[in-house]
Structure 1
Amino acid sequence: MTSNVYSIFLAVVTCLPVLGGPVLAAQPLPQMKPLGSGTGHGFVEGVDTPAAKPSSAPKVEKGADPAPDTPARTQTSACVIPGVELTVRSPVDGENGCGFSDAVEVTAVEDGDARIAFSGPVTITCEFAKVFAEWLRDGVMPASEKHLNSESLLVMTGPGYQCRRRNNLPDGKLSEHALGKAVDISGFVVPEGQAVSVEKDWNAKTEKGRFLTDIHASACTHFTTVLGPDADPHHVSHIHLDTGCHGKACDYLICQ
């Protein structure tokens, strides 16, 4: 697909109705087993901007030695992934444990004539970028060709990295977004302007609904956490994907 076509494509996207929230959305947080039913507050992950960064470091019990300062992260290697448009960035050093080395900013994934671009740059680890690109090629492109008659898409994503804790709470475990190992997807747009909304088209008995069902199923073969609208109220507007460790052996899969 030529750059001129994509320029028109992106111009069309800006005129489309908002898919469940702002185009450049903030990102959601996975819940560990068992998944809860939500907190009941108005924050919608993947749509609203989190209220704040994690507020403080974990509490230290009285008499215990304070935790050492987090060492500065260093870039260990360049990241090269065939068919993936990316820029290697400096290591991300956030507050209270947020951040990661091998940071990259991904803008598109190609496979032959097929191309998947993102609504905005996605900042993630090189390793997560490999998994993400593999899923886009193996799962999303074939499903898009089958149900939407196009292998090329614009994916409505959040920015990837965000320094925050799970469920946007002020304490608790860090989100995988804070470690560069997660991304959220709120929708897709094909070059002709046809839009697929996770919030509006999920479980619909249409080609758009079947497309979302197929890519959700394929995501469960690539990521350790896949949370869609059926998971809980926090994910009604998007699909959350991450490669976090679940269980002592890191072999537990959350697919909802």
Structure 2
Amino acid sequence: MSFSSPESLRSRPPLAGLALMVALVAAGCSGESGLAPPGDLLGMEQASPMIRAESAAPAMFAPSAAPVVSAAPVGQAMFNDPDLALLPNGPDAPMQNVLAYPVSSGVDMQQMTSALPEGRVDQPVVMGIGTDQPRLATAPRMEPAAQPQIQAPQPEMSRVEEKPRLLAGLLPRFSNPLAKPQWAGGMPAAEKACRQRLKRLGVTFRDVPAINSGKGCSIPYPVEVTELSGGIEIKPAAKLNCQITDAFAQWVKNELAPAARVRYLSGVKSIRQLSSYSCRTMNSKRGAPMSEHAKGNAIDVGKITLDNGRGILVRQPGFFAFREKSLLNNIRADSCKYFTTVLGPGSDVHHKDHFHFDLRQRKTSYRHCD
């Protein structure tokens, strides 16, 4: 048994290492694919994952908000399939632009993310390289699209329903009853026309408030007459309706005054009326129909005074009172052209001392002159 010296042992390679080298050379010569030759082993490079970004930004990235990292793990298909890839990898955007941080134990993910420059970079950052669950830590910076300016909704003003209010209009004030229209409380057109005729006849009158003393006793538009044509006074002043006033003024002007001048060579100074408006029945009898006096539609004449001072009483004249008898007969005959009823001395006992004139309307248009 022989022993080798230590120097000889250091000069020879160990048997185990020599056996390994022989086995590797044999495997390479036999064409087995199980082991690669040392040269190939040195030339191998770790394949980089192929990651492509979609043409459009992923829906998970909101342009106006911070990048949102999907909680779903990025599988191997994301790196191999260009249609599913979320990160750029190509000639225009090589993979080396991707900042990758391997995950190791004890690494604070929040601290690693905050170490990025300002938290906003142009390159995407992938976390978890070398693990089974790589994920996108940040996305490439994208300019937010111009947001349409939306005006803040104005607070709706509460509408308070207002009750209708009556406003005083600028209505004309009528001091003249003839100018006041009927819709404003004025008199009818017929009353206005009648008053115009009185003015043309020279009658002095004034409008007085409506008279209503009860059933059958009223004058809607009465006038108070004080003078007739030629300055002939009515004593006392008579309250009549306009129609009887018009007829009476025409009779005095056209019949009485000319007859007095012919017979007495004098004009008429005044007329004494015994009754104008009076709320009573005919002849003041109980149960009789209402008189025309109750409507201001009649007037009674008791005395006529001439300008020379002579007074002519309405009565049955004496046998020798020729001028007086002629005047009274002329008055009675001519007055029927102006009135529908004429009564006087000789008609009945109730009219023995005055003439009664009225404008009573009868169905047959009959005129009663007695």
Pair in the same fold by TM > 0.5 = yes
Question: In structure 2, what is the equivalent of residue 99 of structure 1?
Answer: 218
Q: Matched residues, percent identical?
A: 28
RMSD between superposed Cα atoms in Å = 1.8
Task: Tell me the SS of whatever aligns to 1:158.
Answer: strand
How far does the alpha carbon of each residue in 1:139-175 deviate from its partner, in whole angstroms, 9 at most, with x for none? 1111111112122321111241000001201223110
Contact 1:225 1:240 in 2 (8 A): yes
CA distance 1:117–1:203, change in 2 (3 Å): farther
Task: Tell me the SS of whatever aligns to 1:188.
Answer: strand
Task: Tell me the SS of whatever aligns to 2:278.
Answer: coil
State how far apart, in whole Å, the 2-side matches of 1:104 and 1:138 are: 22
Task: Tell me the SS of whatever aligns to 1:185.
Answer: strand
- Provide TM-score, normalisation by structure 2: 0.46
Structure 1 stretches of at least 4 aligned residues deviating more than 6 Å after TM superposition: none
Amino acid at match of 2:289: K
State how far apart, in whole Å, the 2-side matches of 1:168 and 1:204 are: 34
Gaps of 5+ in 2: 1-184
State how far apart, in whole Å, the 2-side matches of 1:103 and 1:203 are: 41
Task: Tell me the SS of whatever aligns to 1:252.
Answer: coil
Higher relative contact order (CA 8 A, sep 6+): 1
Structure number with higher helix proportion: 2
* Aligned partner of 1:181 among 264, 285, 297: 297
Question: In structure 2, what is the equivalent of residue 131 of structure 1?
Answer: 247
Contact 1:92 1:99 in 2 (8 A): yes
Matched, 1:85 2:193: no
State how far apart, in whole Å, the 2-side matches of 1:231 and 1:213 are: 13
Q: What displacement does 1:118 show? A: 1.3
Task: Tell me the SS of whatever aligns to 1:199.
Answer: coil
State how far apart, in whole Å, the 2-side matches of 1:244 and 1:226 are: 10
Matched, 1:238 2:354: yes
State how far apart, in whole Å, the 2-side matches of 1:254 and 1:149 are: 31
CA distance 1:203–1:104, change in 2 (3 Å): farther
State how far apart, in whole Å, the 1-side matches of 2:360 and 2:219 are: 14
Matched, 1:151 2:267: yes
* Aligned partner of 2:367 among 229, 232, 253: 253
State how far apart, in whole Å, the 2-side matches of 1:188 and 1:176 are: 22
Task: Tell me the SS of whatever aligns to 2:338.
Answer: coil
State how far apart, in whole Å, the 1-side matches of 2:233 and 2:292 are: 22
State how far apart, in whole Å, the 1-side matches of 2:318 and 2:186 are: 40
State how far apart, in whole Å, the 2-side matches of 1:129 and 1:163 are: 18
Task: Tell me the SS of whatever aligns to 2:231.
Answer: strand
State how far apart, in whole Å, the 2-side matches of 1:96 and 1:182 are: 18
CA distance 1:238–1:211, change in 2 (3 Å): same
Q: What displacement does 1:101 show? A: 1.2
Task: Tell me the SS of whatever aligns to 2:332.
Answer: helix
* Aligned partner of 2:287 among 171, 175, 199: 171
Contact 1:202 1:229 in 2 (8 A): no
State how far apart, in whole Å, the 2-side matches of 1:212 and 1:233 are: 17
Aligned residues: 178
Question: In structure 1, what is the equivalent of residue 24 of structure 2?
Answer: none
Give the number of the structure whose alpha-carbon radius of gyration is greater. Answer: 2
CA distance 1:239–1:184, change in 2 (3 Å): same
* Aligned partner of 2:332 among 202, 207, 216: 216
State how far apart, in whole Å, the 1-side matches of 2:285 and 2:234 are: 28
